[in-house]
Every structure is written in C-alpha cells, then in structure tokens.
Chains A and B, each alone.
Chain A
C-alpha cells in the first residue's frame, strides 16, 4: 500500500543500518528509548535490533496504553459491567488486561479488592485474576468496538440500557472520544457515558527523565489538556523515589501522538533536559533513520527536536483535534500509571460541563489502587530498567494466551513483542560439534555451565531431536 510499502524496503534498511554502523563511535554506549509501543512492535517485528551495532541499545518505553493501565481502572470497568448492568464497550486491547481476582468468601471486606463480594459468583473465592473477557463469560454485557462511534451507535440502538465506553489511550485516541461526547451532548442522549482513562505523553517522558519521581509542581487541574507537564519545574523532584528508571540518551518520539500534539511539546526535553528527540513514523525505515539522527545528535553534542515523520507531523499538530479535546477534557490532579506510579497532571477527565456523560460521576465510581502481581516485572520493564527476559515468569507462566502482566497483553507491549518475534534470540544454540569439544562437567567447574544437546532443561530441543534422527 502507498506510504507503507516504500518505508519497509529491506535493501534501503540495510543501507541506513550501514550508515549507523559507520557513524557510531566504537567506544560509546548509545542508549535510546523508543517511547511508543508502535515503535517497540516495529523494532521487534522487522528485526531492527539485528541491524544495529552492539553498542546501540534500544530501551522500550511506556507508550503502550494497555500496558500502563493500572489494575484498579480495569476493576472499575468490570464493576460497571457486572454490578451496574450496563453495556460496556471498549477497544479490543483492553479485553484481556488482568484485573483483581474475585475476592474470597467471608465477611464483607473494607478496603479489599474493589470487586469486594458484590458479584454473585464471588462467593466461592478464587485467586484467578479477572479480566473483561472473563467478566463477559460471567454474563457481563461487554462489547468490543473498533471505534468510539460504534459505542455511541449502540447507545442510540439500545435506549433502554445504559451504555458506557471504557476509553483508554494516549493523545492519538483521545480526539475520537471527545467527538462522541460532543455528539452525545448535541443529541441529548441520556443513556451514554464514558469512563475516561486517557493519558498524556509528555508527563510520562518527564517521569522517565526525572527518574520516575513525580515532579512537585503545584497541581493545576482544570487547565488545558495539552499543557500536561508544562507546570512542573525541570529537575524538581518530589514524592517517593520508588520508581527507578533507565538512563536514556535520547528518544525516538511518538508517531501518531505527534500528529495530534505536534512536535513543539517535546522542545522542553531538548532544552531543559538536554535530550535529543527524533519523532519517527512507525515503519522500519522511519525507525532506523530516527536512530541514525539520534546517533548524529549524540556524536555532535546536540540536543534538538528533529522530525523524521515530517510527512504527517507539523510543529503545531492537529489544531482541530486539540480544540475539541480542550472543549471536552481537563487535566486530572493525579492518575496512577502501571509501572510509573501516580503522576500529577498526567491524564484527562471530562469537564464538569459534560458531567452527564462521565461514567465515574454517573455511577459514583471510586478508584482504588491495587498492587500488581508480585512476580510480574511489567513495572520495571515499563521504566526501562529491566527487559522481558529478566522476568522469571516470562514465556512460562505469562504468555500472550494467558498474560499475567499488561506488557504481555497488547501486541505492542514489550513482553508480547519479544515473545512473538524476539525470544529465540535469547537462545544460544550449541552446535553438536561445539558441544562435543566441551570438557566434561565437573563439580569444580563453577559458573558458565553449558547445557549439552538433549540435556534436561535445554531450551534447544531441536538439537537433541536431530541427534536422535542421526541415529
């Protein structure tokens, strides 16, 4: 397809990679973060890592809306579907995000899981986590929609039912939500509301740069939504320092988020933090070119915002969409992000003027934070301090079919992308002849023990299988 195929040309990709290899300084370790899940997915799917020199490391960022959605928000959506008898509509990505387990039987809980004994099926007690998919199996009327407009259409078609759209996403996905709220208000629909969980990109980048510590700027909720992080002083740090983040030298900036917000909002990361930002499209050539531009900035000691995705991103962004978002939404004082913690002014809520369409107001929902599964490393992975392979349950207990953590749910989550495209890179298959040259294992051999072909626990069963065939 036009404007897609040209940007996936393998020969050109190798040429850009050759330029990167020629220009990197061999004694320098380059550490760049691709903020967006879309880039994470492209890097894994097209094997971009294989084309990069070993001293260029890409760190996956938190720009995956499903991945940063905290358990407590999904619990609220499940509560709506199972206890308020609404038709709950949501994007497909949200359906399998793990939520709280249904609580055990016993006395009514105070401060326990938000699903606290209220669902009729909850009396047996279970440690199995819920999800919207499982809530649907328990009779919740939960519908997967392609567009927010589909949810509005369901409300028009079902006037006897309350229809709630569980809206998630970054700035890319926010304007369509604003549009349905505007249209519902114009039509005076009485049975439609939105549970708004939209989050903002600049505050998340700032959190990464601030070491995960929320900035101590005074909350100014209610101001323009796109002002997200502008109220916080650079380098000002407050709150608990429990969210260590990775050291980053530059960012591959979001593609489609930037179509909406423009390239201007990233300027502060170049000027205040001295970090280069290169906005890039989601195709593999875009990503490689952005990495080359970042390498050049680092080599030349520059920190600027550059725009590789200039075919779609302007400095000001989509002003129409911004005006609509500003009409409908305002900044929340604080919002909990999975992995990054609670950050001030990092998400949106529906303005009082449109309160009638705010599901949290209509159904009196109260958010309750819920800790992640202890074995899950999603938090550290979202902050760039760990990789999927560092997680004990990656690929064993936690798989795309049965995700424990949110990073395994969406195809653009770091864990799902690595599971689908990259996990075999972690395996160093010993060749039969190399293995035969190994000295026999002795108790004093210490570390660095190699698994031999066919040895129990070897993750390279094919080698053992071929040995069997040779016999």
Chain B
C-alpha cells in the first residue's frame, strides 16, 4: 500500500502536474506535495503523486557503504559458508 517508486522527472506541466519517466514509461503525476522539484530530479511516486525526492549524493553514499562492506566482508564467499 505504501509502495512508491523513484522516477525521473522529465517535464513540468501546468497546475502542479509533471511528466515522469519510469524505466521507459512516461506518466503524468502531480507534484503538488513537493516543493521546488526540477526536470532531472528523481521523485518518489506514490498513487500518482510525488511525495519526496531522491538525494543523489546520499544514494551514492549508501551504495559506497555497501561496496566498502563487501571489500571488508569477513568472508568473500557468500552466505552458505558463514551461517
């Protein structure tokens, strides 16, 4: 029910509407709930409304953390040998 997906904002339209690209599919959504979004932002879409945005730097930071953990992993061969 609370599911939402990140989508690329490709065009701002009148009346707080916008066009997003969801993995190749274009869809019109409302951006009335988020302030100051721009073309090129990744917005999080829930029931046809952008409810928030993705911070690209924080996303990259989280992924870097995962990569770092993989490098430091106590056992490079995955789970079957570790449980």
Contact = CB atoms under 8 A, between A and B. Distances in A.
B54 A311 contact: yes
B55 interface: yes
A350 B27 CA distance: 30
Contacts of A4: 5-6
Nearest to B67: A12
B33 A176 contact: yes
Contact of A175 (B33, B62, B73): B33
Interface string A165-205: 00011101101100100000000000000000000000000
A176 B83 contact: no
B9 to A, nearest CB: 13
Contacts of B48: 146-150, 176
Contacts, number: 163
Contacts of B49: 147, 149, 175-176, 179
Interface string B33-77: 111000000101011110111111011011101110110011110
B66 A12 contact: yes
A324 B73 CA distance: 45
Contacts of B4: 172, 256, 259
B1 A22 contact: no
A18 B33 contact: no
A412 B2 CA distance: 10
Contacts of B5: 1, 4
Nearest to A307: B58
B13 interface: no
Interface string A304-334: 0000101111000011110010000000000
A147 B73 contact: no
B22 A176 contact: no
B1 A91 contact: yes
A311 B59 contact: yes
Contact of B2 (A146, A172, A319): A172
B77 to A, nearest CB: 9
A18 B73 contact: yes
Contacts of A71: none
B32 A1 contact: no
A268 B76 CA distance: 39
Interface of B (DSSP majority class) = mixed
A320 B52 CA distance: 10
Interface residues of B, number: 44
Interface string A62-95: 0111100000000000000000000000010100
A14 B34 CA distance: 36
A1 B73 contact: no
Contact of B63 (A6, A16, A17, A256): A6
A403 interface: no
Interface in A252-274: 254-257, 259-260
Nearest to B66: A12
B5 to A, nearest CB: 7
Given A22-B74, A310-B61, A176 B46 contact: yes
Nearest to B49: A176
B1 A310 contact: no
B33 A321 contact: yes
Contact of A147 (B3, B22, B47, B65): B47
Contacts of A36: 2
Closest 8 A-B residue pairs measured CB to CB?
A14-B78, A147-B48, A311-B59, A259-B52, A15-B70, A3-B6, A1-B23, A22-B74
7 contacts: A4-B5, A12-B70, A14-B79, A173-B2, A311-B55, A319-B35, A410-B1
